[in-house]
A and B are shown apart, each in its own frame.
Chain A
Amino acid sequence: MNILMIIMSVFLIVCAVAVSFTRSILSSIVIFSAYSLIMSVMWILMESPDLAITEAAVGAGVTGILFYATLKKINQIDINFYKRGPLDEKNKNRPAGDISAKTLKASAAIYRVVALVCVLTLAVLLVATVLNLPEVGQISNPDNNEVSERYIEKGIEETGAINFVAGMILDYRAFDTFGESNVLFVATICVMVMLRISKKRDPGEETNAEEEEVSDRFYEPANDTILQVMSLIIFPVIMVFGIYVVLNGHLSPGGGFSGGAVLGAGFILYLNAYGFEKTDRFMNAKTVKWITFIALMVYCLAKSYSFFTGANHLESHIPLGTPGAILSSGLILILNICVGMVVACTMYSFYALVRRGRI
């Protein structure tokens, strides 16, 4: 076993335990980002560079920043709340005592004991089970069967993609990936339903969109020179890297998911440095809506031809080109671009919705 892999495994467990025992929420979020970064090193050691790029962009980048944005939002809600009414108002809402403290304490103790027993039993069972699995990293393992053999041996001939993973998820199993892109779209809609603040004041809402934006700017140093100068240097590099990863999805590690996440992280950086006024020029509700719609529509139509050809690619007239050229491998390049656009828009809209209640 690789010594680096052992060190990384120990780091992973230490990080996971540290997350559990850290008091401050902010530091546990930072530790969780470090955990994701170690996980992406782990993917590199396990020869899965596609996963490494995605994990580094999504796990260590976007997830972490969503947690920060949530904490900031919660702080903002608190400040607005205390500004409105005196503290007594809040204490009035405190539970009076329809359940006595004693029974509550007893039930909490029972809950803790039962939960501890459950966790320990599950841990022992899981470890005992995985120890009975075949040894990690053997070519004779049962999952290295004729399916993966076919994907590798016939993949280039049938899909034209050098990257077997891209050939698999965007050609053989392209419908799965279409469903997956739709999951992202639905998730954006759900978050929008939950967090959207309309421009007009609803009776139930405390604030409207304009007030939300004013308070967002009030608690944020709007013109942070260090961030602006640094993002001036980094932002173009991130964008070029993201576009490169998307366009070379069929030739090298990466693809729509990884590249889209990198692009989304780049937009979030730009937003943090220059504020909503400047990002609204190119990423507003209208562009996000149309980009997502067009990308999903193109994906759907591009893959619909399979319906007419018996879902078997038998009569596919799309030229595959020479494997290795940038314009090759049939539809994979187009599908990668579609997926990349959907993912980038989704990541950006999550962050924008958490920050100000609208895209």
Chain B
Amino acid sequence: MYELIMTHLNDVVAAVLFAIGLANLLFQKNMIKKIIGLNIMDTSVYLLLASQGYIRGLAAPIMTDGNTDAGNYINPIPSGLVLTGIVVSVSVTALMLSLTIRIYKKYHTLNLDEALMRVRQEE
């Protein structure tokens, strides 16, 4: 079991981080902490993706010494996918934070349950 976890370390860490992020999303009452939880889930998915492209002992996908043999470099595809994902995740975060500010302006609370109760009360 120990051996198995050690050979799959990155994947296991990604799975655990995903669970921690989801727990934050579900259990935290504070909206900012929920957003941090979602960010943790984002990075865990990136970690899983990038660890699929990682090949032990090989170099980063940048040509050195004119060598264009595929056996010398790690897989560049997951890097390309994750690169765009990281930048999108910051725009998602900014969008969620601006929603949080709007909610706070109207209901004066960061607690989602309290905000929901005030919405219900207004109806």
Interface residues, chain A, CB within 8 Å of chain B?
1, 5-6, 9, 12-13, 16-17, 19-20, 25, 28-29, 32, 35-36, 39, 42-43, 46-51, 54-55, 58-59, 62-63, 66-67, 70-71, 73-74, 77-78, 81, 90, 93, 95-96, 98-99, 108, 112, 115, 118-120, 122-123, 126-127, 129-131, 133, 135-139, 141, 143-144, 147-149, 151-153, 155-156, 162-165, 168-169, 173, 176-177, 180, 183-184, 187-188, 190-191, 194-195, 206, 252-253, 255, 257-258, 261, 323, 343, 346-347, 350, 353-354
Contact = CB atoms under 8 A, between A and B. Distances in A.
A42 B86 CA distance: 14
A29 B89 CA distance: 16
A147 B75 CA distance: 9
Given A127-B12, A147-B77, A156-B68, A176 B84 contact: yes
Interface in B1-24: 4-24
8 contacts: A5-B9, A74-B101, A77-B105, A127-B15, A168-B76, A176-B84, A190-B98, A323-B63
Contacts of B90: 58-59, 62-63, 66, 261, 347, 350
B9 to A, nearest CB: 6
Contact of A48 (B17, B79, B110): B79
A39 B71 contact: no
B23 A20 contact: yes
Nearest to B110: A74
B60 A48 contact: yes
A40 to B, nearest CB: 10
B75 A28 contact: no
A51 B83 contact: yes
A13 B16 contact: yes
Contact of A51 (B9, B18, B62, B79): B79
B62 A253 contact: yes
Q: Which 5 A-B pairs have the closest CB atoms?
A: A137-B56, A187-B91, A123-B19, A130-B11, A126-B15
Which of A81, A126, A147, A180 is most buried by chain B, counting CB atoms within 10 A of its CB? A126
B40 A35 contact: yes
Which of A36, A49, A98, A130 is most buried by chain B, counting CB atoms within 10 A of its CB? A130
A1 B7 contact: yes
Given A12-B17, A126-B19, A164-B61, A96 B121 contact: yes
A180 B8 contact: no
Which of B76, B92, B118 is most buried by chain A, counting CB atoms within 10 A of its CB? B76
A190 B92 CA distance: 10
Interface string B56-90: 11111111000011110111111110111011111
A155 B54 CA distance: 19
Given A115-B26, A163-B62, A48 B7 contact: no
Contacts of A195: 98, 101-102
Contacts of B5: 131
Contacts of B74: 46-48
B98 to A, nearest CB: 4
Nearest to A188: B91
Given A123-B19, A137-B54, A58 B105 contact: no
B27 to A, nearest CB: 6
B87 to A, nearest CB: 5
Interface string B83-123: 11011111111110111111011001010011001101100
B108 A131 contact: no
